């Protein structure tokens, strides 16, 4: 009988602080947490599910050893005690893991890890292990790959374990083949229940978490022990009744279950969204898999359990559900937009409504406001905000794009009362208006040349403007990352904003000059174009005046007219070249 125990066998890919990449067991992960830089999966999107698995173990371990009905003060003290120690209580962790050791075996006969024992399809053989893997080319399901298109006959147990955790988090939706024991078969097909999340849970959210200088810090920063400002018992996350990890539960089923709500944070971190089983060959390699729908939850009002996403009030869903209260749904990432362009939902705090920031950001806010972190010996001046996820196409049945972005921010940016947050968001908003001005300027140059439609096989105007916008954001990407990272509490928000906007102003002026130089349009030729049903004259002179005027409106005037006439830029991406 094959055996591969995740507690003892190396399977989690990590990069240590010294730069060495290693596979580690789950026990070793906790032992070396302060020496490990980060988890580094086969693809970046494996990192978050594996991190969440480790977090679930932490909730289980410390929840078992902590007093019933702890107060917020006691929980903050627990958190700070562990943080100050700089390492986990390995005795507690080992004691807990020893209780469930057999249930962390991939091939345990009774309780295989993250699987359903003896699961079989009703009328077909197991699928190829390639069905587990996001980057294996397959018909209509290829995300990206450096593998051949011949499929995968077998994979190692370590790789299978990593993809198993990924599958439970991000699996595609669509029609599944029926398995023995499923009672939701419709014409020999299994569909996701209407109104429930059809992909893996992480596919439904905009995954957001904080990272520190090592894995210990990263785990601690995302170990949210209670929901700040919560007025009911559900605000306490550690040790919730009925909140169990899959390896702690005795009951098992091959059937699909409409669960509707999470039982707690552990359930959210480890949701068994799929009934699955790995098939092992004679060489103890994984040669097949069985996958069907498992535990299904609703896509709304899960913010008391899920701590790694921003949220929004969904008025459309309220109307569809016919509810009196507005449901809260997760904000998903836009695969085409950098993280710094979407910081408002993550950092912005509204005093008159539910706090819709990610729980990990709220927790960082709480620690700074109510614990020893507010004193002079502040243990952490900055953190890295990381966003990860997948987008889907064709009714969520195929992977479309993978998302992975990170941004260093001052820990003060997690404080709801830090004035710098609104300053930052204001610069981002003003920049959006200025970038639109550049796109319209390039459109006006096209009009000035007499080319204002799709005639003569020209690119449509709308697509051209989109290209200009993306080019502008790419040019400013490094500037914004540096500016955001350096926006600390000692900076004067008004002055910092002014200098920042001037840098953006110069970049866009230079880009305007570049587009004008490339256009080779006679300066005084005038053409008319329709603008809001009115015909307006346009030439390069008018286009430049409109462009500069809109930049001034969006960003404010530059400090001197000399700077405005001769913007000082370096090469694209050189942040030092665009400073005053």
- pLDDT value, residue 567: 41
pLDDT per residue of the chain (580 residues) written in tens, 0 to 9: 789 999 999 999 999 999 999 999 999 999 999 999 999 999 999 999 999 999 999 999 999 887 678 889 999 999 999 999 999 999 999 999 999 999 999 999 999 999 999 999 999 999 999 999 987 765 555 455 545 545 578 999 999 999 999 999 999 999 999 999 999 999 999 999 999 999 999 999 999 999 999 999 999 999 999 999 866 666 999 999 899 999 999 989 999 999 999 999 999 999 999 999 999 998 889 999 999 999 999 999 999 999 999 999 999 999 999 999 999 999 999 999 999 999 999 999 987 678 999 999 999 999 998 876 654 445 688 999 999 999 999 999 999 999 999 999 999 999 999 999 999 999 999 999 999 999 999 988 888 876 654 444 345 788 889 999 999 999 999 999 999 999 999 999 999 999 999 999 999 999 999 999 887 666 556 666 656 566 778 888 899 999 999 999 999 999 864 444 444 433 344 433 433 3
DSSP state of 294: -
**CA–CA dist 3, 394 (Å, integer):** 38
Residues 6+ positions from 94 with CB-CB distance below 8 Å: 27
305 phi and psi, to 5 degrees? -120, -45
**And the tokens for 294?**
């498992």
- pLDDT value, residue 69: 80
**And the tokens for 88?**
């986990």
**Alpha carbon distances (Å) from 435 to 210, 427, 452, 514:** 29, 12, 20, 15
**CA–CA dist 109, 289 (Å, integer):** 16
Query: Measured over all CA atoms, what is the biggest interatomic distance in the chain, rounded to whole angstroms?
Result: 83
- pLDDT value, residue 284: 87
The CATH class of the 419-578 domain is mainly alpha
Three-state SS at 555: helix
DSSP state of 258: E
**Alpha carbon distances (Å) from 220 to 224, 364, 542:** 8, 10, 57
Query: Residue 545 is inside which H or E element, if any?
Result: helix 540-555
Measured over the CA atoms of residue 132, residue 137, residue 140 and residue 144, the dihedral's sign is positive
Ranges of H-type helices in 449-492:
461-485
**CA–CA dist 101, 8 (Å, integer):** 9
- pLDDT value, residue 530: 59
**And the tokens for 30?**
């906790």
241-272 pLDDT tens trace? 899 999 999 989 999 999 999 999 999 999 99
Parallel, antiparallel, or unpaired for β 295-297 and 311-313? unpaired
Query: Residue 51 is inside which H or E element, if any?
Result: helix 47-65
Q: Alpha-carbon Rg of the chain, whole angstroms?
A: 27
String of DSSP letters for 155-179: B-HHHHHHHHHHHHHH---S-B--B
* φ/ψ bin of 532: left (φ > 0), alpha (ψ from -120 to 50), beta (otherwise): left
The helix-helix angle for 157-170 and 47-65 (nearest 10°) equals: 90
CB atoms inside a 10 Å sphere around CB 423: 18
Start-to-end C-alpha separation, the chain: 69
Query: Half-sphere exposure (CA, 13 Å, Cβ side) for 293?
Result: 27
Three-state SS at 185: strand
Residues 6+ positions from 26 with CB-CB distance below 8 Å: 6, 7, 12, 53, 54, 57, 97, 104
β-pair partners for 209:
386
**Alpha carbon distances (Å) from 376 to 149, 373, 379, 380:** 57, 8, 9, 11
Residues 6+ positions from 183 with CB-CB distance below 8 Å: 255, 256
- pLDDT value, residue 572: 41
Q: Is residue 316 exposed (0-12), middle (13-18) or buried (19+ Cβ within 10 Å)? A: exposed
Parallel, antiparallel, or unpaired for β 274-280 and 286-293? antiparallel
**And the tokens for 165?**
């955790």
**Domain ranges in the chain with CATH number 1.10.132.100:** 419-578
* φ/ψ bin of 25: left (φ > 0), alpha (ψ from -120 to 50), beta (otherwise): beta
Q: Is residue 186 exposed (0-12), middle (13-18) or buried (19+ Cβ within 10 Å)? A: exposed
Residues 6+ positions from 520 with CB-CB distance below 8 Å: none
């Amino acid at each position: 009988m094959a055996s591969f125990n995740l507690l003892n066998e190396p399977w989690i890919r990590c990069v240590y602080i010294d730069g060495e990449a290693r596979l580690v067991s789950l026990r070793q992960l906790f032992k070396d947490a302060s020496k490990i830089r980060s988890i580094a999966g086969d693809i970046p999107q494996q990192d978050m599910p594996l991190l969440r698995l480790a977090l679930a173990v932490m909730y289980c371990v410390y929840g078992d050893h902590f007093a019933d009905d702890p107060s917020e003060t006691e929980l903050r003290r627990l958190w700070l005690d562990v943080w100050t120690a700089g390492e986990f209580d390995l005795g507690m962790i080992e004691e807990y893991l020893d209780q469930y050791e057999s249930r962390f075996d991939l091939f345990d006969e009774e309780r295989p890890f993250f699987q359903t024992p003896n699961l079989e399809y009703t009328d077909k053989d197991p699928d190829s292990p390639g069905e587990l893997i996001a980057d294996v080319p397959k018909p209509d399901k290829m995300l990206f790959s450096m593998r051949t298109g011949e499929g995968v006959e077998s994979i190692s147990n370590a790789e299978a374990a990593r993809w198993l955790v990924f599958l439970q988090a991000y699996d595609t939706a669509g029609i599944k083949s029926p398995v023995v024991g499923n009672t939701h078969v419709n014409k020999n097909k299994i569909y996701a229940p209407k109104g429930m999340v059809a992909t893996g849970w992480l596919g439904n959210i905009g995954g957001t978490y904080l990272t520190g200088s090592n894995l210990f810090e990263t785990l601690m920063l995302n170990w949210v022990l209670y929901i700040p400002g919560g007025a009911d018992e559900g605000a306490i996350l550690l040790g919730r009744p009925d909140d169990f990890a899959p390896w702690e539960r005795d009951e098992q089923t091959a059937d699909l279950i409409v669960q509707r709500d999470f039982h707690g944070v552990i359930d959210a971190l480890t949701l068994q969204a799929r009934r699955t089983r790995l098939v092992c060959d004679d060489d103890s390699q994984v040669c097949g898999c069985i996958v069907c729908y498992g535990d299904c939850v609703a896509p709304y009002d899960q913010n008391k359990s899920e701590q790694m996403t921003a949220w929004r009030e969904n008025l459309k869903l309220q109307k569809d559900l016919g509810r009196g209260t507005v449901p809260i749904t997760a904000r998903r990432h836009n695969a085409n937009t950098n993280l710094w362009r979407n910081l408002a939902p993550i950092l912005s705090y509204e005093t008159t409504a539910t706090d819709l920031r990610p729980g990990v950001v709220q927790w960082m806010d709480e620690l700074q406001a109510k614990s020893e972190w507010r004193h002079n010996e502040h243990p952490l001046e900055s953190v890295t905000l990381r966003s990860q996820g997948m987008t889907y196409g064709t009714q969520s049945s195929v992977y479309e794009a993978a998302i992975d972005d990170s941004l260093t921010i001052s820990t003060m940016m997690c404080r709801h009362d830090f004035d710098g947050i609104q300053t930052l968001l204001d610069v981002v908003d003003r920049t959006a208006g200025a970038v639109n001005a550049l796109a319209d300027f390039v459109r006006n140059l096209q009009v000035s040349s007499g080319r204002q439609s799709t005639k003569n096989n020209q690119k449509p105007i709308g697509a051209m403007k989109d290209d200009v916008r993306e080019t502008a954001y790419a040019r400013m990407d490094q500037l914004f990352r540096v500016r955001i990272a350096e926006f600390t509490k000692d900076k004067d928000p008004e002055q910092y904003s002014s200098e920042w906007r001037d840098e953006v102003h110069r970049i866009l002026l230079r880009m305007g000059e570049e587009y004008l130089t490339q256009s080779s349009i006679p300066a005084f030729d005038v053409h008319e174009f329709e603008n809001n049903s009115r015909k307006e004259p346009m030439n390069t002179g008018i286009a430049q005046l409109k462009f500069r005027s809109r930049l001034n409106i969006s960003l404010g005037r530059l400090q001197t007219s000399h700077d405005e006439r001769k913007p000082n830029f370096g090469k694209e991406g050189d942040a030092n070249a665009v400073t005053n």
